[in-house]
Structures are given as structure tokens and as C-alpha cells.
Chain A
Amino acid sequence: TQLLEQSPQFLSIQEGENLTVYCNSSSVFSSLQWYRQEPGEGPVLLVTVVTGGEVKKLKRLTFQFGDARKDSSLHITAAQPGDTGLYLCAGVPTGGGNKLTFGTGTQLKVEL
């Protein structure tokens, strides 16, 4: 079983649309991070959330950590082609030996 499940796995939308990506687990995490990976590049950290219920905004991106610290969501408003990429959530499970575990990923394509 995968510790961190992301949905949807693939998403293709038009420019200007809104979307939400989910990261779910049955485990509790002390912190959770979101990364974006563009083709030919390594993942780049977007945000870290550490408090249950925490909401962070990064321009058109809104990140939320679930109250129970088991899940997170990423909402993009008015998507642009530059948002295209692989979105990865990653977390450090409580009692998980300080190991960062990555989710299954969501491949987003935003078309003109």
C-alpha cells in the first residue's frame, strides 16, 4: 500500500480553469510539502505546511493541510500553461524515523 495517494493521477485542462489536487493518507504527518517538477528538471519545493488546518497561499496556488494532518490539497486558480508539471506531495510521518515519503504524483497539463 502506498503511504501517500495523490488524485487525480493525470489532469488536462484549459487555461483559466481552476483545479484541485489531493494528497491522502491513513497516516499522520508531522509536516507535509508540495513540490513541482517540470520536464527535464528535479522537483522544486513550493510550500511546507506543519499545522493541522493550516492554509498557505502562493500567488494563484492555495495549499491546505487537513485538520488531522493526514491529508492535504493544492488548489490552483486560473491555471496557466506555466503551471504544467508533475505535482508531488511529500511528508514526514510521525514516528517515521525522519524519512521524507513522496506521493504518487499528479501530472498536470494546462493548454492554451
Chain B
Amino acid sequence: ETGVTQTPRHLVMGMTNKKSLKCEQHLGHNAMYWYKQSAKKPLELMFVYNFKEQTENNSVPSRFSPECPNSSHLFLHLHTLQPEDSALYLCASSQTRALSGNTIYFGEGSWLTVV
């Protein structure tokens, strides 16, 4: 239990579906992240939010739409995904966006399969 909770843990969706991944952190952190983990590829940073404001979009396709209503919650809205988007999506948080001296805490991830 890292204090970062992700739901659902597993999701299967069709290419025309709309679904959302949810992340909640109970650590009082101000920065939240979405990462994508695919087989045989390094963890890829997708989005960064700091104090509810998006500070980084790592060239992510628009079919992925993040939302951060407050510092404790982060969503990833999904629509018209492709099979190659199937991956483990990890949410993470840290005290601040400044990585030096800060620990990033990861959730357990949401396994997404696009069919």
C-alpha cells in the first residue's frame, strides 16, 4: 500500500468505447503523474500535474485526455483508442514537481486492453 490507489485494476475496451481511469492519492502530495508501461519499453511519462495545473504533456495523442479536479485526484479519459494503446497505466504522486530530493510513489496500475 503506497497511498496511491488506481481503479479499475483491469479494463478491456473496444476501439469505439469511452472509459476513464481514476487515481487517488492519500499522501497530501501536490504533483501527480500518468505513466505508460508497455512490454519491452521503458516507462513513459505521459502527463504531469502540479497543484492541479498541467505542467507537462509528453506528446501524448489527444485520444488520451487527463483531468485533475484537485491535488488528490487524477483521471485519464480514454476514447477511440488503438490496440497498440494496450498497456499498464501507472499513476504516481510526489510532494512537489521538483524531483530532486522527492520520492515518487506509484499506484498499482491499471491494465488496459484495447480490442
Q: Interface size of B by Cβ–Cβ distance < 8 Å?
A: 20
Question: Is the interface on chain A under 10, 10 to 19, 20 to 34, or 35 or more residues?
Answer: 20 to 34
B43 touches which one: A40, A44, A45, A102 (CB < 8 A)? Answer: A102
Residues of chain B with a CB closer than 8 A to A104's CB: 41-42
**When the two chains form their complex, are residues A42 and B45 in contact, meaning their CB atoms are under 8 A apart?**
no
B34 within 8 A of A: no
Specify which of B4, B99, B103, B107 is in contact with A92 (CB 8 Å cutoff): B99
Whole-angstrom distance between the Cβ of B55 and the nearest chain A Cβ: 10
Contact B107–A42 (Cβ < 8 Å): yes
Residue of B nearest to A97 (CB): B56
Question: Does B99 lie within 8 Å of A98, measured CB to CB?
Answer: yes
**CB nearest neighbor in B for A102:** B43
Known: A31-B100, A92-B99, A98-B98. A105 touches B42 (CB 8 A): yes
- Assuming the A-B contacts A42-B2, A42-B92, are A98 and B100 also in contact, with contact meaning beta carbons closer than 8 angstroms in the complex? yes
- A residues at B contact (CB < 8 Å): 2, 4, 30-31, 40-45, 48, 50, 88, 90, 92, 98-105
